[in-house]
Amino acid sequence: MIYADTKIFKNNQTSIPPMIMEKLNIETNDIVEWVWDDEGKVTLNFRKKINFKEIRAPLI
């Protein structure tokens, strides 16, 4: 288990601790999805940002 905490800065900004980024292969411009379920549990999902060319390429 890895434990880390972060501070909320002005404009609601925070950072992802480097050890978490490394373990999850998170890079600059990746997307963080915040999911708040009916029981009040918050889950974070990380995904790569894709651009229009990457979406369109399989269609050509």
Which CATH number goes with the domain that contains 27? 2.10.260
The model's pTM is 0.66
Mean confidence (pLDDT) of the chain:
88
Is 48 among the domain residues? yes
DSSP per-residue letters across 4-60: -----BGGGB----HHHHHHHT--TT-EEEEEE-TTS-EEEEEE----HHHHHGGG-
Is 19 among the domain residues? yes
Domain extent, residue 14, equals 10-59
pLDDT single digits (tens) 3-24: 999 999 999 999 999 999 999 9
Is 2 among the domain residues? no
Counted domains in the chain: 1
- 60 pLDDT tier (thresholds 50, 70, 90): low
pLDDT value of position 2: 86
Is 14 among the domain residues? yes
